[in-house]
Amino acid sequence: MRTAIAIDGPAGAGKSTVAKLVARRLGYLYLDTGAMYRAAGLKALRLGVPPGDASRVTGLIASTDVSIAFVDGTQHVLLDGEDVTALIRTPPVSVAASDISAIPAVRLRMVELQRKISSERDVVMDGRDIGTFVLPDASCKIYLSATIEERTRRRCRELEERGAEVVDADAVRRDIEYRDHNDSHRALAPLAKAADATLVDTTGLSVEDVVETILRRVRHCAS
């Protein structure tokens, strides 16, 4: 029987960073589900389709191939065969991903792939609705949170580390608040803490502290 660790939470809570480390420590596959929605958002932007236009996006996604490849254990996101891993981490794509992920046709298509991967490998999967919708029977569920100030600071630092010359902290905060509202108010599988998930507030904690907290919980779930 495959083991699945579900890590959910809002933008900037530290999900991807700690999920990768937890997966490495456990020897599991790490799957960044948000990257799949970012790829879909990138295609909409490229084609001039408003990411929130459900009718046009539903038609678009029907002819869109988003897949995941793993090279030396690192996840690469392929959009219609093109590796877009390095192109999907900009603020415009972040907003587009939030808009497009609220469209049921998009979510259902991505969830199908996510469930298939989890059926084949032991995984650590992070996102917004992993424990509540994608993998409701996950072996262990974690919900990460942090204050809006902390999440804004982290996102600004991330953009700076990726080479952004100027980072507008106020704009970053607005983007996060916009995504929070979208993610928690969408009709299908909104962002929410699963009833059986463990809440971990990462504000003020080091990455290693969060990883150790999660690993302790994983061990408890397995006992």
pLDDT in tens, 142-197: 999 999 999 999 999 988 998 877 889 999 999 999 999 999 998 889 999 999 99
Domain with residue 109: its CATH number is: 3.40.50.300
Strand order in the sheet with 74-79: 66-71, 74-79, 82-83
What residues contact 155, with CB distance under 8 A and at least 6 apart? 11, 12, 172, 175, 176
- Compute the Cα dihedral for 65, 68, 69, 75 and give only its sign: positive
pLDDT in tens, 42-90: 999 999 999 999 999 999 998 899 988 888 778 899 999 999 999 998 8
Query: How many domains is the chain partitioned into structurally?
Result: 1
Give mean pLDDT, residues 115-142. Answer: 94
Name the pairing type of β-strands 123-127 and 82-83.
unpaired
For all residues of the chain together, what is the average pLDDT? Answer: 93
What is the Cα–Cα distance from 148 to 161, expressed in whole angstroms? 20
Give the confidence band of 1 by pLDDT, cuts at 50, 70, 90.
low
Closest CA to 202 of 4, 2, 21: 21
Q: Any idea which of 3-7, 69-73, 122-126, 133-137 has the lowest mean pLDDT?
A: 69-73
What residues contact 24, with CB distance under 8 A and at least 6 apart? 30
Q: Which domain holds residue 44?
A: 4-222
